Amino acid sequence: MDTLTFLIDRFDGTDSWRQRYEIPYKPGMTVLACLIHIKERLDPTLNFTASCRSAICGACAVRVNGHALLACDTMVDNLLRIWGEGALGVSPLGNARVVSDLVVAWEEKVERLRLARPGLDAKPEFSAQKGCRQAPADMQAIARQWDCILCGSCASECNKLTDSEKDFLEPFIFTHAARYAGDSRSAVPMRHVEAMLEHGLWKCVHCMECVTKCPKHIRPGEDIAAMRHMAVEAGHTDGPGPRHAEAFRTDLGATGRLNEVKLVPRTEGLVSAATKHLPFTLRMFAKGKLGVVEAARLFMADNPPVENIDGLRKVLAAERSPS
Amino acid sequence: MKYAFFPGCVLHAAAKEALSSTLAVAEKLGMELVEIPGWSCCGASHVQDVDPEAALVANARNLALAENMGLPVVTACSTCALMLRQARATLLAGAMGRANARLAEIGLRFTGASEVVHFLWLLADASEQWTRKVERPLDHLRVAPFYGCHTVRPPEIMGYESHLNPQSLERIIRACGATPVAIPERLRCCGFHAVFPAEHTAMRMTASAVTSAARAGADCLLTPCPLCHMQLDMYQPDALSAACGETPVPVLHLVQLVGQALGLTAKTMGLGRHIVDARPVLKAAAGSCG
Ligand code: FES
């Protein structure tokens, strides 16, 4: 192959178009090297951001064929192996306001980041004189979260954010909250968790895009799960999210298997199950997805317990008893 | 080849048709699936939110039960596959000691001997062999593959194929004689895991996949995950009513498409159990649906 073809999404503040560029192929080029080649040799009007060229500053994240990546840390050869030798589409990060071509705005994201109350409020035993030291293991517990370079890749394909950013935040914001909530030196870990509870902590759809796209291998989805656990432990057990998760835990200890008939009333309450979900339930009966007798049995009683249920109950956390 | 089969809760409940289809397809292909005695719920990507240790230990127990059978594990649910593979990776990365301390109380031990694979991967790997057994080529069927998040993500845990451009479903669709139809939602989320806490989001996601499939001229959607199937099929009327009367699109379980091509009967595959009936499009495509 002699030529690389890029189809780049352009935006000049008013008009949007897709522009084709061809550059000579050389093995071992990064996506950023290609963008720089285009800007220096073919089209000085193409805008993108980059600085460190070492996967540290987070400025160069773009989407290739719809997937976020760091342009400076991605070899074109690897992309050609995945998609074949056709043109590569380059576009700005998703779930972001585009300023110009591949450049997205960060002002509003930084404002939203403030919602996590980032910043450490240290325990009273620490002082300017004594310092604020922590054990290596405690530091390791949040080391991954501290690796965030604010590149925005985790947010680009976040399925929840694409649907609506009104009741959810960029995954890296949850990670920032988690790094303070999980800091052994913090006097107020729940401050960050409670802030996230107000901004969609239970609305993550588990699509795993953030975990997949983070170039630093941070796992915002796991940070969300960890803060949900902290919230539940602190008594924030109301709402469909925690009740839904708890229903699965209850069934695990009770019979070992999910009771799908009790899931809706346990999550949303009996009234909602009997009214709002009635058309759904009738549809299930009509198509034989669920037998009426079977449903009545599952509602009044439960699944038969799995073989060796006592063993299962024994190995699950001792302090929780099945309800 | 013999496998320890982890059906997961849904195959014994709302997706019984996926259970019968999986077992029948496996039999046709000469695979023996032996259900793991005493398997429990994998945690369904929810239990870790309230009790992460319980989720880990339950799966350590599931894997130890399979190891006792001396067989690799196969599951036909993408979330089960992710939960089991994630737990296995966590256990092997250092959590094994504390999990085994618990398991020792009931005479079990996790060693990591049993790999966990998705039934999709077995079908994709063997497609060149079983395509010769196709009795009913689905020549006129246009199928929109919908992978489901947990089928491919996160790649460190799932890793069977590129998460950016997976091709296993396309390969299987072609092996059945049918034609894959690409939709923008191919790798996106169906909404299932947040259908209660983020109901409107979930419904819009579902509507979007269905609408794209209809507009792309697909006869049906295809998914290897029974949870995606529940969301895309069972909730489709709700999702479409919110999306103002778009055309319904039937949703096939992966194993039903393969079963249809291999000549299984509609009854075996539980084709009557879908909310959006898939039998008319299968009939139109192959002349008969058993
Ligand atoms: S240029 Fe700094 S991360 Fe790529």
pLDDT range class, residue A318, cuts 50, 70, 90: low
CA neighbor of B109 nearest in space, from B76, B64, B68: B64
* Residues with Cβ within 8 Å of residue B168, at least 6 apart in sequence: B120, B121, B123, B124, B160, B161
Q: How far is CA A115 from CA A73, A177, B198, B201, B248, in A?
A: 30, 9, 20, 22, 41
Q: If 0-12 CB within 10 Å is exposed, 13-18 middle and 19+ buried, where does residue A86 land?
A: exposed
Chain A, 235-294: which have a CB under 8 Å from a chain B CB?
239-242, 244-246, 248-249, 251-253, 256-258, 260, 267-268, 279-280, 283-284, 287-290
Find where tokens 């503040």 sit: A13
**pLDDT for res A298:** 79
Cβ separation B150–A208 shorter than 8 A: yes
Per-residue pLDDT reduced to its tens digit, B122-177: 999 999 999 999 999 999 999 999 999 999 999 999 999 999 999 999 999 999 99
Size of interface A-B (CB pairs under 8 A): 189
Q: What is the CATH number of domain B2-119?
A: 1.20.1050.140
- In this prediction, what percent of chain A has a pLDDT beyond 70? 98
Q: How far is B133 from chain A (nearest CA, A)?
A: 30
Per-residue pLDDT reduced to its tens digit, A87-100: 999 999 999 999 99
Q: Are A100 and A130 in contact (CB under 8 A)?
A: no
Nearest CB to A289; choose among B12, B14, B163: B14
Q: Which amino acid is at B110?
A: F
pLDDT range class, residue B244, cuts 50, 70, 90: low
More confident residue, A278 or A182: A182
Ligand 1 atom showing the smallest separation from residue A56 Cα: 3
Cβ separation B154–A211 shorter than 8 A: yes
Strand boundaries in B11-168, DSSP class E: 32-35, 73-75, 116-118, 142-145
Mean pLDDT rounded to a whole number for chain A: 93
Cβ separation B164–A67 shorter than 8 A: yes
Contacts of B272 in chain A (CB under 8 A): 287-288
A78 lines ligand 1 (CB under 6 A): no
* Residues with Cβ within 8 Å of residue B269, at least 6 apart in sequence: B17, B20, B21, B24, B255, B256, B259, B260
A309 lines ligand 1 (CB under 6 A): no
**pLDDT for res B290:** 41
Chain A, 63-82: which have a CB under 8 Å from a chain B CB?
65, 67, 82
Contacts of B194 in chain A (CB under 8 A): 160, 203-206
Question: Is residue A171 within a helix (H) or strand (E), and if so which, with residue range?
Answer: helix A171-181
Q: Are B150 and B81 in contact (CB under 8 A)?
A: yes
Nearest CB to A260; choose among B13, B205, B274: B13
Q: What is the CATH number of domain B135-286?
A: 3.40.50.11810
DSSP assignment string, B260-280? HHTT--TTTTTGGG-SS--HH
Chain A, 21-40: which have a CB under 8 Å from a chain B CB?
none
- Which sequence spans correspond to the domains of chain B? 2-119, 135-286
Per-residue pLDDT reduced to its tens digit, B36-94: 999 999 999 999 999 999 999 999 999 999 999 999 999 999 999 999 999 999 999 99
Q: Report CA(A58)–ligand 1 centroid distance (Å).
A: 5
Helix (H, G, I), strand (E, B) or coil at B34: strand
> What does the DSSP 8-state code read for residue A75?
B
First to last CA, chain B: 28
**pLDDT for res B33:** 98
Find where tokens 């790997």 sit: B125
**pLDDT for res A320:** 55
Tell me if B2-119 shares its fold with B135-286: no
